[in-house]
Structure 1
Amino acid sequence: MPVPELDQLAASGAPPLDATTADPDGAFEKLWRGYGPVAPVELAPGVHAWLVMGYDELRTITRDEHLFSRDGRRWRLFQDGTVPPDSPLGPMMFFRDNVIGHDGEEHRRLRRPLQEAIAGVDHRRLRRTVERLCTGLIAQVAPRGTADLVADYAAAVPLLTIGELIGLDAAQSAELLAAMHLLFSSGEQAQEGNARFEALLGGLLAAKSAAPGPDVTSALLRHPDLRSDAEVLQTLVVLVSAGNHTLISWIAQALRLTLTDPRFASRVRGGRLSVDDALDEVLARQPPMINMPARYALADVELGGRRVARGDALILGLAAASRDTRAHTPGWWTHGNRASLAWSAGPHACPARDPARTIARTAVGAAGHLLRDMRVTEDPDAIGNEPSPWTRIPRRLPVAFTPASIDPVLV
């Protein structure tokens, strides 16, 4: 049997999909120069995958579910034992019996409850909820004149909002957030974080089964397409995990852009650009999910000039695709352009882009409105990002501003 091309290239030294590099864009550019739109990368010692960086190649693997599956059980390295069941990669790449893990009709059945729950969100009520939560968070830091806009603000807004939608209180939401940070790290405690994450949602499910309320969890429990509590639980897992870290990143990156990019900041202050323009530029240049796991080849196929073997894992290089000069000219993310792949594409594309934008727009706008004269107090180049091969969240965003007393009830 011929050796798969991925194994051949890996043997000569595939670079790691680095979670800590200070220059991920430079790493993507180097991969492009060396391999083209589909490059070998190392996910963990001895565990290799293809990083798909080409815009057209990404559209192919996300839309053709007959050749590229989301089902992690198809992963050759998991089947042959190279990746053990307790691998830190498991929480992000192993099969989950939910809408993400299935394709075809089963995927569509499990997606319907999620789509209907999202479609049922009242955006005016959602905006008021986010405004209230943001004002409460800002009121805590405003009197002291300094804050970390990641730890004190961006990291709290999404899960507090989603927590209210699904029926969690603030303390439970904070505990869930801590578990999710471990899960997304793909580090040594990823499996522990995953177990805690599901246990917390399981407790919520039991509480809402006993005492339903006007929340998304109770609606999911009543949905005819979800046939068991296990399916409701996994739908909640998708709703919370997919929405939280991506929103933290989107909010934090948009705030960083407006505070540290003089070109952009001057146009915002001059009224030529809006909060939505900042959000769109982040999606194009620094998408919340820089890399998204994964698709698994169902047959031997050629992609981007590479021979992809059946069972190979393919990582969606969403950030790298923004720099595909075959599809985009430099600076293509100018005012009003929303052509990025930040939401993915095809049957598994994110269904929550509208409520996500409502949350992010409200959060970024509230910070700019309530914290006067904000300025970053640290060299922006020294801030860096949280260590994760999947998401791009600033480690911190320290700012100073004019101290103020804000009444979270009256604002």
Structure 2
Amino acid sequence: MTTPVPAGDGLTPPPGCPAHGLGPEGIRRLYGPEAEADPTGLYEKLRAEHGSVAPVLLHGDLPAWLVLGHRENLDVARTPSRFSRDSRRWTAFQHDQVAPDSPLMPMVAWQPLCVFADGAEHKRLRGAVTDSLDLFDRRGVRRHVTRYAGQLIDGFAATGTADLVSQFAEHLPMLVMTQLLGMPEEYGPRLVEAARDLMKGTETAVASNEYVVATLRQLVERKRTAPGADLPSWLLQHQAGLDDEEVMEHLRLILVAANETTVNLIADTLRMVLTDRRFRANLSGGHMTLPDALDQVLWDSPPLSAVPGRWATGDTELGGRQIRAGDMLLLGLAAGNVDPQIRPDLDEPLYGNRSHLAFSSGPHECPGQDVGRAIAEAGIDTLMVRLPDLRLAVAEDELRWNSAWLSRHLAELPVEFTPRRAKAVQPPVEIDGPAPAPARPPVEEPLPAAPTPQPAAPQQPRRHWWSVLVAKLRGQ
């Protein structure tokens, strides 16, 4: 039985009995079998036991606070004077309690990023990011999405069956992002794998992070000498004067965050459209728009369940708890979105209501949310237009999720539909030479270099990774 931590006792718990999912002092772990099997259930246990702010243990049994209340999440997100983004304040770092290879490190180790800065430095770095993102033509972004979504659909349209997670949602955001970052397309598959592994907090998360960093560092070096109409070039040229390392780190942040969140948003919206009769009827009847559906999903299934972190700048109080200087707090986005204080009836639709926590709030609110929504909306719209009779191929209760400490990812979404011919679409720019095979991180293998065109073998057509991916999706 869990022994609640009394208010005012900080993160020093009373003794308790070890149990499944509990640390040695009776505090629940935010990782491991219990957390991964049913994160929503874990949040509700924590709310029942501790209220709006609960003590938890992270990897390595490091203590932290999980913010469960909607109002408390906004309080933390909007008051950087009390809750800083500078992770160097963390007591665990100051006492050398975090192992260098801890799966927490890629997400909480301080880096020269706007998400780890406050005040004037945050304004300088975030201004460069938001100004550069604003340079994108939204119609141009949608054209990229429509193009790649169509090509993915062509890979399975003739079969009459598909898994919309592995054959659609997991590929579309990264394909679009490689274009926005001015990257060679063949980098896509390995970046997808490394970015997803990085977010899972696995034993290879640090190595996956190193692969992403090395890839982006090479990209920045090329854009410094050969700029284009893309995000890294605009960041390098911005008046804020970002150096190469700052640009690389912000590209990493955007790439990883955009991929994970948009994959989950696409998959969960498709699941809801396919399984919730109200959504299907409303969408087909014109009573609810696709943006409305996205808003409902952002309430019910935010792409990230929790976001680390904030660090208390001094001793303070939150939700009846005494928070000590240097304590780490995690924004509980999923838990805050179902706070009974603001949503007493979870079945009540929230079409068009954007007061959810999915993109956080305050000065660190997600700057790329419009791009993410555009990718999800245009991709789903293209799919539904091309395959209007999509239907779930299994019973709804057979769907399964993979959960990690920060996100909950739909494992599969098998569907059936009337087989259709692939459309004749303009293929992506091809790269000479053999297509690189997707590989697992870490990168004991040679890191990817700028692509060097190789002469094609006699009588053989030129190929790139896209043709291999399409063949794989078609089962060839």
TM normalised by structure 2 equals 0.82
Deviates more, 1:309-318 or 1:73-82: 73-82
Query: CA 1:312–1:170 in structure 2 vs 1: closer, same or farther (change >3 Å)?
Result: same
Residue identity in the other structure for 1:254: T
Other-structure match for 1:163? 178
Q: Distance in 2 between matches of 1:123 and 1:46?
A: 44
Instruction: Select which of 28, 49, 67 maps to 1:15.
Output: 28
Residue identity in the other structure for 2:405: P
Q: Distance in 2 between matches of 1:25 and 1:145?
A: 34
Residue identity in the other structure for 2:275: T
Residues 43-192 of structure 1: pairs in structure 2 closer than 5 A: 43-192=58-207
Alignment partner of 2:56: what SS? strand
Check whether the contact 2:37–2:403 (CA below 8 A) recurs between aligned residues: no
Other-structure match for 1:382? 398
Other-structure match for 1:365? 381
| Shift, 1:333, TM fit | 4.4
| Shift, 1:249, TM fit | 0.6
Other-structure match for 1:394? 410
Other-structure match for 2:459? none
Other-structure match for 1:338? 354
Check whether the contact 2:169–2:267 (CA below 8 A) recurs between aligned residues: yes
Q: C-alpha deviations, 1:81-104, integer Å up to 9, x for none?
A: 222222111111221211111111
Q: Distance in 1 between matches of 2:313 and 2:349?
A: 34
Instruction: Select which of 254, 258, 265 maps to 1:243.
Output: 258
Q: Distance in 2 between matches of 1:81 and 1:378?
A: 49
Q: Distance in 2 between matches of 1:183 and 1:250?
A: 18
Instruction: Select which of 203, 209, 214 maps to 2:229.
Output: 214
Other-structure match for 1:306? 321
Q: C-alpha deviations, 1:140-198, integer Å up to 9, x for none?
A: 11011111111111111111111101111221122211111111011100100110010
| Shift, 1:384, TM fit | 2.3
Residue identity in the other structure for 1:394: L
Q: C-alpha deviations, 1:288-341, integer Å up to 9, x for none?
A: 011111101111111001111111110100000111122333245422211101
Q: Distance in 1 between matches of 2:397 and 2:328?
A: 33
Residue identity in the other structure for 1:273: M
Alignment partner of 1:88: what SS? coil
Check whether the contact 2:108–2:308 (CA below 8 A) recurs between aligned residues: yes
Other-structure match for 2:20? none
Residue identity in the other structure for 1:16: R
1:6 aligns with 2:11: yes
Count of residue correspondences? 409
Q: Distance in 2 between matches of 1:337 and 1:221?
A: 36
Q: Distance in 2 between matches of 1:373 and 1:18?
A: 39
Q: Distance in 1 between matches of 2:172 and 2:342?
A: 34
Q: CA RMSD in A?
A: 1.8
| Shift, 1:379, TM fit | 3.1
Residue identity in the other structure for 1:389: W
Residue identity in the other structure for 2:345: P
1:275 aligns with 2:280: no
Other-structure match for 1:348? 364
Query: CA 1:380–1:22 in structure 2 vs 1: closer, same or farther (change >3 Å)?
Result: farther
Other-structure match for 2:242? 227
Please tell me whether Structure 1 or Structure 2 has the larger radius of gyration of its CA atoms: 2
Identity among equivalent pairs (%): 38
Q: Distance in 2 between matches of 1:318 and 1:255?
A: 21
TM normalised by structure 1 equals 0.95
Q: C-alpha deviations, 1:258-279, integer Å up to 9, x for none?
A: 0112232232233222211211
1:289 aligns with 2:294: no
Other-structure match for 2:441? none
Instruction: Select which of 37, 53, 59 maps to 1:38.
Output: 53
Check whether the contact 1:184–1:190 (CA below 8 A) recurs between aligned residues: yes
Q: Distance in 2 between matches of 1:77 and 1:352?
A: 31
| Shift, 1:124, TM fit | 1.1
Alignment partner of 1:162: what SS? helix
Other-structure match for 1:260? 275
Check whether the contact 1:226–1:232 (CA below 8 A) recurs between aligned residues: no
Other-structure match for 2:473? none
Query: CA 1:128–1:235 in structure 2 vs 1: closer, same or farther (change >3 Å)?
Result: same
Alignment partner of 2:157: what SS? helix
Alignment partner of 2:114: what SS? coil
Check whether the contact 1:284–1:333 (CA below 8 A) recurs between aligned residues: no
Deviates more, 1:345-354 or 1:262-271: 262-271
| Shift, 1:18, TM fit | 3.6
Query: CA 1:105–1:333 in structure 2 vs 1: closer, same or farther (change >3 Å)?
Result: farther
Alignment partner of 1:396: what SS? coil
Residue identity in the other structure for 1:283: L
Q: Distance in 1 between matches of 2:312 and 2:72?
A: 13
Q: Distance in 2 between matches of 1:402 and 1:191?
A: 43
Check whether the contact 1:136–1:408 (CA below 8 A) recurs between aligned residues: no
Deviates more, 1:3-12 or 1:282-291: 3-12
| Shift, 1:410, TM fit | 7.6
